[in-house]
């Protein structure tokens, strides 16, 4: 249950971000999934968190702790030390451990339900679900979320920061609630943001974002369309005109639905995203000039790699890394633009972006624990 006067508690001024000298105790709720496993791996190996094993939390109705190594054998270490335990979710467990930053790798509905309590208890939260990414009610309607306390939820939504460090680094530093972006949205937003910001694109001609993701993007729970017999040797489009990441593109790039069409596809590979983006420049330019805009925009962003114009990224070069690679090609008329953006959907599209946000919130080097 929520504390009494929760709306009042949520309105308390933002807490100061931890300084570089402070140790930070983290916790992860929802460690059973693919992104949760990657997040556990990154936090266990983060140089700033050595000796500060995260609290790993399972479901509230779990009856007993479970071994993290039995749950995710790939995380096993040959250290002779006992495996970290995944314990049932209890607010008291977080309090007793002195938790400062809580990662929620939980379903949207669960994150929406738990967030007011987490903030009221003084936790800073990085949420990997889509529960808090969207501020426009029409865009957020795709998640069909219901709030037990609409006033408390509205208070939190107003202060939620979209967790794309390349765009919102300053706001993330002092945030109590960081909404980690969607994987497709990250790949497309990072490609387009520099050009939209510079006013270079002819938005009246529209943008087409054709994106393809590995099967892990659908989550760990099996469905008919992620079954081997459906996905293998196949390529299929889905979510046409209605994918939940569309709202993120509209809000973060400040576009209308008439200005961009996003269509996702399911690739028969485990992980990785390749987004091919078609647009037109307002005025004829050169490949080098467009590349320069990208490089200047991301000069202080270590997790974005801009390719030399004409050198287009590939999934094989970003899979199991924390980078987003961006490349471009320009047509003979100097206006037709094709951009390719690649990332690992479980890392830069989820877990490593969450750790990147942690680094920013704590005043650490943005790339620590990610290279």
Tell me the C-alpha to C-alpha distance, in Å, between residue 314 and each of 187, 272, 340, 349, 371: 13, 9, 8, 15, 19
DSSP-derived letter for residue 308 is P
Q: How far apart are CA 176 and CA 156, in angstroms?
A: 9
Q: Which helix (H) or strand (E) holds 209?
A: strand 207-213
Place of tokens 């977080």: 94
C-alpha pair distances (Å), 89 with each of 21, 97, 107, 114: 29, 13, 14, 11
Cβ-contact 229, 118 below 8 angstroms: no
Total length of the chain: 371
Are the C-beta atoms of 18 and 361 separated by less than 8 Å? Answer: yes
Spatial separation of the C-alpha atoms in residues 161 and 229, rounded to whole Å: 40
Q: Are 114 and 106 in contact (CB under 8 A)?
A: yes
183 annotated active-site: yes
For residue 254, CA distances in Å to 63, 136, 250, 353 come to: 46, 12, 5, 22
Active site residue: 164, 183, 324, 362, which one?
183
Q: Please tell me the distance from the alpha carbon of residue 171 to that of residue 149, in angstroms, as a whole number.
A: 26
Are 258 and 314 spatial neighbours (Cβ–Cβ below 8 Å)? no
Instruction: Please tell me whether residue 1 adopts helix, strand or coil conformation.
Output: coil
Exposed, middle or buried: residue 338 (CB in 10 Å: 0-12, 13-18, 19+)?
Answer: middle
Which residues have a Cβ under 8 Å from the Cβ of 186 and sit 6 or more positions away?
A: 164, 324, 343, 348, 349, 353
Q: Catalytic residue numbers? A: 183
């Amino acid at each position: 249950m929520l504390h009494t006067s929760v709306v009042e508690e949520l309105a308390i001024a933002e807490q100061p971000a931890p300084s570089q000298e402070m140790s930070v105790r983290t916790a992860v709720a929802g460690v059973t999934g693919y992104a949760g496993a990657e997040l556990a791996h990154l936090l266990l190996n983060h140089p700033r968190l050595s000796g500060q094993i995260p609290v790993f939390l399972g479901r509230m109705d779990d009856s007993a702790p479970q071994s993290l190594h039995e749950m995710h054998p790939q995380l096993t270490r040959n250290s002779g030390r006992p495996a970290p335990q995944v314990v049932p979710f209890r607010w008291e467990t977080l309090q007793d451990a002195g938790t400062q930053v809580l990662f929620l790798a939980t379903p949207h509905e669960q994150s929406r339900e738990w967030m007011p309590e987490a903030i009221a208890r003084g936790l800073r939260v990085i949420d990997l679900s889509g529960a808090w990414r969207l501020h426009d009610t029409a865009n957020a309607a795709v998640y069909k979320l219901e709030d037990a306390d609409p006033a408390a939820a509205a208070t939190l939504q107003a202060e939620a920061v979209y967790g794309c460090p390349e765009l919102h680094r300053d706001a993330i530093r002092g945030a109590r609630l960081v909404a980690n972006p969607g994987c497709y949205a990250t790949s497309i937003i990072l490609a387009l943001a520099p050009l939209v910001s510079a006013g270079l694109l002819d938005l009246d001609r529209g943008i087409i974002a054709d994106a393809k993701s590995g099967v892990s993007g659908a989550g760990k729970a099996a469905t008919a369309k992620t079954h081997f017999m459906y996905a293998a040797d196949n390529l299929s489009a889905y979510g046409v005109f209605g994918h939940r990441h569309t709202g993120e593109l509209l809000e973060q790039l400040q576009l209308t639905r008439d200005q961009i069409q996003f269509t996702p596809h399911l690739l028969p590979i485990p992980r990785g995203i390749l987004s091919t983006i078609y647009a037109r420049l307002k005025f004829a330019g050169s490949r080098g000039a467009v590349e320069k805009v990208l490089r200047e925009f991301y000069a202080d962003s270590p997790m974005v790699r801009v390719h030399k114009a004409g050198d287009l990224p590939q999934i094989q070069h970003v899979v199991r890394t924390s980078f987003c690679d961006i490349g471009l090609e320009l047509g003979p008329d100097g206006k037709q633009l094709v951009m390719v953006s690649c990332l690992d959907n479980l890392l830069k599209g989820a877990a490593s972006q969450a750790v990147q946000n942690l680094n920013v919130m704590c005043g650490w080097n943005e790339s620590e624990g990610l290279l």
